[in-house]
Structure 1
Amino acid sequence: MAKGGTFGMRERKFTCLGNIVKTGLLVGGSGLIGGGIMHYFKKRADDEFELLAPNSKQLSLRDPEDIRGYCRKFRPEFIINCAIAALDSSPLLAYETNYLGTIHLARVAMERQIPYIHFSSAAVLPPGENLTEDDRLELTPELANYPKSKLLAELALAELHRKHGLDYTNIRLAVVYGAHDHKIQGFQRLLFSLADQAMPLMFTNRRAVHSYSNAKKVPAFVHHVLRNRAEFGGSTWHFVDPLPVALSQLIITIKSYLGLRRPREIYLPYPLASFGAGCMRRLVRLLGRIGIEARMPAELLFMENFYQTQTLSSRRLKNSSFVDPKPQATVFTELPLLLEYYLSRWEALNLITPCNQDHFACRVKGEEFVHEPDRVLKSLEREVGQPFLGPEPPDS
């Protein structure tokens, strides 16, 4: 059972067969990946694992005393760390959250001799094709705060494994896509820019290809990793879809789904895009000096990546004992669901201007409700004729 927080001494949980359920600590349970893991373990692994998921007020990665106190009190038998600082965080916040917090949790895992599952990012990798788990950027002072802190964490975990026997698994994700993320960042920033018509031209080229990670599949992999420590311990794994995606093709597909005229299929050269981002950065600084708060989208810090190819090898994952629960699922097959979820949410929050709503061709049900409400009622009998709950999902 996944819990948002626990107070008082925890009693051991037993299954109906008398087996003890292992209790784990999940850090970062409010995010896209962490939230998905909580939901999955509650529905699919409740008879094996119980997750404690304290919020940042109960356990702050930036406060080692919080971590010591919580782990002494509840004695987790494994740790999953999904927490990250934002892409545009200050050096101190990125260092304390992405690096120091990772090390504090790793030390708990070492001293208690328990598994530690850590989530990393393709931001630690250079551009290139078919990059393996052994590839990394060179650690230099010039690296941006986010990749530098994530790279430091990876290097430190590998060192703790070699010298002190830390039982860890490092999972690298690429561009993550999935529903139920309340932040507009990464893949969702792309959707938002297109839906809000904020991208007049193609801020990429025809050659740039990237790897993508399906957030819905991650929890099943974590479950499998916990069950198979001998195979997955002490190593890094790329959790990505087998086939990479051209950014230009993805933009054009989203544009087609939404029935939009923009962006025009005119590819803005990188020097011009970089110059525009620089002008915007200077404008933001100027506004700050006169007391107007403004921030650039964090993704613009990585604009160069829009024009470069970076694909991650999935060979190690494919050759492992893990079986993809939905091998046919890709970012393209999931697009209709993602668009329906995020457009509905952003409209409800008035983040998308009304002038754009007429273009959302994928909103079939909404159009029926507005223009043909009698059809909505007529469909009720057909819907009631189908089972609502459906069959119980099979065990993973």
Structure 2
Amino acid sequence: MAEKNIECLGNVAKSGLLVGGSGLIGGGILHYFKTYVDGEFELMGPNSKQLSLRNPEDVRLHVRRHRPEFIVNCAIAALDSNPLLAYQINYLGTLHLARAALEQGIPYIHFSSAAVLPPGENLTEDDHLELTAKLPNYPKSKLLAEMALAEMHRKYGLDYTIIRLAVVYGAHDHKIQGFHRMLFAIADQTMPLLFTNRRAAHSYTNAMKIPPFVHHILTHREEFGGRIWHFVDPAPVSLSELILTIKSYLQLKRPWKIYLPYPVAHFGAGIIHWLIRMLGRIGIDARMPAELLFMEQFYQTQTLSSRRLQESSFFDPKPETTVFTELPHLLEYYLTRWEALNLITTYNKDFFDCGRQSEDFVNNPSKLLETLGK
């Protein structure tokens, strides 16, 4: 998929260290490098017990022992992590890995997030939030990490690349988070209204396209080193349109096409937070979905410019692929998984299209008539 311009003398593969291999992004990269570039690169993916990002000596010794020729950091603390965990994983962990890469003189690939950006349209790689104490833990720690890497590049010559992702979509995410949290809420009928407005739009990132991009930037260090890259689909997506499209695919009654004003949604979230605290006092463990911490962004537009990426040497093999074209596959994958885990039971399988009814329309139209009496 990505070009291969690297020479492997004596067929010896380049070894790399990938941190965060249990997640959607890291797991996809490990699978891609094992399946598609076997013999050219070999990735080690230690778990948190084998390599602790919180311990600088652990990182240093691991890198010295295994001598990787590049490092890829996909590890992140959860959106709702406490300040200490966000600081240790997202910031200190980044520093420990970057220092180890600098000591060995090897490239360091770092995954960041659109959470470091303000609301706005066509935001470039030079844009970012103002670093203040009032920032939530997650964007503060990710922004600090970006700034630290840029400083290490200027002062010490760190060979780094930052990949900023937007709303990530893709199969094989074992956690219900981000975009997949929204899928779950719609399928489980726990989203009665539209928690957004008609104008809000966001950028999206296809998880399947990330591994070929990592492969490409490893073989084109001169072009991609020392810079930030927005890795997003070119066209922004209206949040309300996406929600209603998912609802249409599943042929559900909810959410109703009623746009809940942000002040009302914010007040409701505050009530839920208070109830959760009260439940905790009587020994009932409950947590608010981490995405609700960023509810305001559901009502704001944030689109990232992909111009730098489009003008680079990286070639997107499937530029027509978007979150809309992937919805049938994603819905079928996640609904099957969640049903097997007894997490959802409310959707009607007879109305679950996901491409099957449209296939009947093309290949077996009489079958559609047979379902009228059911």
Q: How far apart in 2 are the matches of 1:95 and 1:358?
A: 47
Q: How far apart in 1 are the matches of 2:261 and 2:113?
A: 27
Query: Match of 1:292, SS?
Result: coil
User: Out of 288, 292, 306, which is 2:298 matched to?
Assistant: 306
Deviation at 1:358, TM superposition (A): 4.9
Are 1:129 and 1:312, in contact at CA under 8 Å, matched by a contact in 2? yes
Structure 2, unaligned runs of 5 or more: 1-6, 361-366, 368-374
Query: Match of 1:136, SS?
Result: coil
User: Out of 70, 73, 79, which is 1:81 matched to?
Assistant: 73
Structure 2 counterpart of 1:42: 34
Query: Match of 1:158, SS?
Result: helix
Are 1:211 and 1:240, in contact at CA under 8 Å, matched by a contact in 2? yes
Q: Map 1:291-302 onto structure 2 (within 5 A).
A: 291-302=283-294
Question: Is residue 2:181 matched to residue 1:189?
Answer: yes
Q: Which string of whole-angstrom CA distances, capped at 9 and with x for unpartnered residues, describes residues 32-57 of structure 1?
A: 00011011111111121100000111
Deviation at 1:66, TM superposition (A): 2.1
Deviation at 1:359, TM superposition (A): 4.5
Farther off after superposition, 46-55 or 297-306? 46-55
Q: Which string of whole-angstrom CA distances, capped at 9 and with x for unpartnered residues, describes residues 93-130 of structure 1?
A: 00000000000000011110100000000000000000
Identity across the alignment (%)? 75
Change in Cα spacing, 1:85 to 1:356, as seen in structure 2 (3 Å) is farther
Structure 1 counterpart of 2:215: 223
User: For this pair of structures, how many residues does the alignment match?
Assistant: 353
Structure 2 counterpart of 1:110: 102
Question: Is residue 2:273 matched to residue 1:281?
Answer: yes
Structure 1 counterpart of 2:128: 136
Q: How far apart in 2 are the matches of 1:256 and 1:355?
A: 12
Q: Which string of whole-angstrom CA distances, capped at 9 and with x for unpartnered residues, describes residues 113-151 of structure 1?
A: 100000000000000000000000000111100000000
User: Out of 43, 60, 65, which is 1:68 matched to?
Assistant: 60
Q: How far apart in 2 are the matches of 1:60 and 1:198?
A: 37
Q: How far apart in 2 are the matches of 1:354 and 1:298?
A: 23
Counterpart residue type for residue 208 of structure 1:
A
Query: Match of 2:208, SS?
Result: coil
Counterpart residue type for residue 82 of structure 1:
C
Q: Which string of whole-angstrom CA distances, capped at 9 and with x for unpartnered residues, describes residues 144-187 of structure 1?
A: 00000000000000000000100000000000000000000000
Query: Match of 1:119, SS?
Result: strand
Q: How far apart in 2 are the matches of 1:111 and 1:104?
A: 11
Structure 2 counterpart of 1:206: 198
Question: Is residue 2:13 matched to residue 1:21?
Answer: yes
Deviation at 1:360, TM superposition (A): 2.5
Q: How far apart in 1 are the matches of 2:341 and 2:178?
A: 19
Counterpart residue type for residue 35 of structure 2:
K
Change in Cα spacing, 1:292 to 1:329, as seen in structure 2 (3 Å) is same
Counterpart residue type for residue 105 of structure 1:
L
Q: How far apart in 2 are the matches of 1:76 and 1:19?
A: 16
Structure 1 counterpart of 2:139: 147
Q: How far apart in 2 are the matches of 1:147 and 1:33?
A: 19
Q: How far apart in 2 are the matches of 1:178 and 1:50?
A: 24
Structure 1, unaligned runs of 5 or more: 1-13, 369-374, 376-396
Are 1:210 and 1:247, in contact at CA under 8 Å, matched by a contact in 2? yes
Query: Match of 2:53, SS?
Result: coil
